[in-house]
């Protein structure tokens, strides 16, 4: 009986006591040259990236709306509206990101201008290396502040 308890108890104790393996490890993905992004309007960039999720390595197609801030700085927004996940787009006429599903509008900085979106646009981690734009994991925005 003690042998059976040990055989079942040791793996269960290890499962409970050892720290969980990082469930979503992101890699940096090069998505283009910063110099090719206009400083006036955000541009949508479509790219493929590898993402490790537990033991699986996913190769997924996704996109980002990139806004160039300066020659060394950019922000990149995740492509889904923070209301129910529709793909939004940039409108030059109103200088806003607009979601066609329920008409949420976001400023060029990603802040909610008009709901029902409950919070700002989510952003990718961004690194600029030798003029190349590198995107990391998506950081979920907090409440609309
Ligand atoms: S999904 Fe964008 S406003 Fe509803």
pLDDT in tens, 35-49: 898 888 999 999 998
Pocket perturbation via mutation, ligand 1, pick of 65, 116, 119, 120 by most ligand atoms within 8 A of CB: 116
pLDDT, residue 20, reads 53
Q: Domain containing 119: what range? A: 22-139
pLDDT, averaged across the chain? 86
Look at ligand 1, atom 1, and give the residue with the nearest C-alpha: 84
Residue count (the chain): 145
Torsion of CA 41, 47, 51, 57, to 10 degrees: 170
pLDDT, residue 104, reads 95
> Is ligand 1 within 6 A of the CB of residue 82?
no
Examine residue 6 and state whether it is found in any structural domain, yes or no: no
> Is ligand 1 within 6 A of the CB of residue 116?
yes
Phi, psi of 28 (to 5 degrees): -80, 135
Examine residue 3 and state whether it is found in any structural domain, yes or no: no
Examine residue 77 and state whether it is found in any structural domain, yes or no: yes
48-58 per-residue burial string, b: 16 or more CB within 10 A, e: under 16 = ebebeeeeeee
Rg (CA), the chain: 20
Look at ligand 1, atom 3, and give the residue with the nearest C-alpha: 102
How many domains is the chain built from? Answer: 1
Residue pLDDT, tens place only, 96-141: 999 999 999 999 999 999 989 999 999 999 999 999 999 998 888 8
Examine residue 12 and state whether it is found in any structural domain, yes or no: no
Q: What CATH number is associated with residue 74? A: 2.102.10.10
Examine residue 48 and state whether it is found in any structural domain, yes or no: yes
> Is ligand 1 within 6 A of the CB of residue 98?
no
Examine residue 134 and state whether it is found in any structural domain, yes or no: yes
Examine residue 16 and state whether it is found in any structural domain, yes or no: no
Examine residue 56 and state whether it is found in any structural domain, yes or no: yes
């Amino acid at each position: 009986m003690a042998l059976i308890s040990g055989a079942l108890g040791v793996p269960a104790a290890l499962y409970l006591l050892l720290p969980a393996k990082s469930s979503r490890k992101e890699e940096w993905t090069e998505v283009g040259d910063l110099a090719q992004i206009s400083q006036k309007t955000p541009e949508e960039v479509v790219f493929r990236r590898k993402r490790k999720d537990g033991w699986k390595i996913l190769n997924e197609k996704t996109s980002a709306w990139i806004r160039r801030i300066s020659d060394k700085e950019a922000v990149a927004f995740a492509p889904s509206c923070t209301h129910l996940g529709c793909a939004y787009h940039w409108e030059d006429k109103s200088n806003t990101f607009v979601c066609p599903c329920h008409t949420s509008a976001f400023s060029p900085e990603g802040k909610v201008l008009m709901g029902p979106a409950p919070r700002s646009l989510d952003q990718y981690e961004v690194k600029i290396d030798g003029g190349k734009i590198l995107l990391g994991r998506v950081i979920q925005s907090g409440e609309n502040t």
